[in-house]
């Protein structure tokens, strides 16, 4: 599959599937190369539009918004809320069954993980951990949908690009990680007060002469937490999506590759189920650990 004007090659196929549906403002004077080969210059004041290709998306700079990542992540978040609300209203005393039993097991699992990992007192942590785990799991789960299904359907409606796995977009994963980082800073200041400053300046060398060294090391370690949290999820899911796209590209290589591609796709999908759950679990556990560290007042 290729968008209009793109040559259907393996490299073009891969690039197309890795391109987000981007909306933003093209700067004045930017040259837009249209499908018919003509070139149009963006008028004075810029132009708000959907990018056609990576060059236009890059030119949009900070104003660019990945519409597909935003829509799918928000939509999956709404599904999560509605599903758990529905189950909560159906829950009653007695032996649960069906989806009620499944979601109760998830809630109990997350609750036990929080009790074992979080050593402070905060009623926000358990609901936050549950939200993080289920939301990330649902976003990762989209990776099991055939890579051509939604892009093909939406292309017929005139939508040039469509990435349906939000966790393969670093803007989504880093946005969540930065949210956790802000909570870390908030509770570190709230719980430790001036002790947070002492923690940054007097660890690991407890002497005033080493304050610059301590501050540098502690700040670097502090900033590394959100980056490791967000980029770990993005890297694993992006690599998994790339493998699915490469396997899908094999189907266009001829009849000899069809059986091998089919077997590879099934094998990788089965293995990827473990990766999907594991990455959601790791993101949740690190969230709990980081917030627990923010509540440790020595």
Given 122, 203, 232, 252, the catalytic residue: 232
Here the tokens at position 156 are 């017929």
Residue 122 annotated in active site: no
For the chain, what is the total number of helices (H) and then of strands (E)? 10, 5
Neighbours of 271 (CB within 10 A): 12
Residue position matching structure tokens 């942590």: 125
Rounded to whole angstroms, the Cα distance separating 246 from 243 reads 5
Rg of the chain on CA atoms, in Å: 23
228 is catalytic: yes
Of the chain, the end-to-end C-alpha distance in Å amounts to 58
Whether 232 is catalytic is yes
CA atoms in the 13 A half-sphere facing the CB of 216: 3
- Tokens, residue 218: 């502690």
The pair of three-digit structure tokens given for residue 186, joined into one six-digit string: 């908030």
CA dihedral 185, 189, 191, 194 (to 10 degrees): 140
CA dist 269 and 263 (Å) reads 10
Q: Where are the beta strands (DSSP E) in 111-162?
A: none
User: What tokens appear for 19 in the block?
Assistant: 């391109």
The catalytic residues are 228, 232, 236
């Amino acid at each position: 599959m290729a968008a209009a004007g793109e040559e259907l090659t393996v490299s073009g196929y891969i690039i197309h599937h890795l391109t987000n549906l981007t909306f933003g403002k093209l700067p004045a004077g930017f040259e837009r190369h249209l499908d018919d080969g003509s070139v149009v210059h963006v008028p004075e004041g810029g132009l708000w539009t959907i990018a056609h290709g990576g060059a236009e998306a890059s030119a949009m700079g900070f104003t660019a918004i990945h519409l597909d990542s935003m829509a799918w992540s928000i939509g999956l978040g709404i599904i999560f809320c509605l599903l758990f609300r529905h189950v909560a209203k159906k829950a009653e005393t007695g032996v649960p069954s069906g989806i009620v039993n499944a979601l109760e097991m998830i809630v109990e699992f997350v609750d036990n993980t929080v009790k074992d990992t979080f050593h402070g007192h905060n009623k926000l942590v358990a609901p936050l951990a549950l939200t993080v785990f289920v939301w990330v799991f649902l976003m990762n789960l989209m990776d099991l949908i055939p890579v051509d299904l939604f892009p093909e359907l939406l292309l017929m409606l005139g939508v040039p690009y469509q990435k349906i796995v939000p966790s393969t977009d670093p803007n989504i994963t880093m946005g969540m990680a930065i949210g956790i980082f802000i909570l870390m800073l908030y509770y570190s200041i709230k719980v430790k007060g001036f002790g947070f400053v002492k923690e940054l300046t007097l660890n690991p060398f407890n002497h005033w002469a080493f304050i610059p060294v301590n501050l540098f090391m502690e700040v670097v370690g502090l900033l590394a937490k959100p980056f490791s949290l967000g980029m770990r999820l993005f890297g694993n899911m992006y690599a998994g999506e790339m493998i699915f796209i490469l396997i899908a590209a094999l189907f266009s290589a001829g009849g000899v590759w069809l059986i091998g591609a089919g077997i590879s796709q099934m094998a990788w999908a089965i293995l990827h189920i473990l990766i999907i759950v594991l990455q959601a679990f790791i993101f949740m556990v690190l969230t709990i650990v980081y917030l627990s560290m923010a509540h440790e007042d020595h």
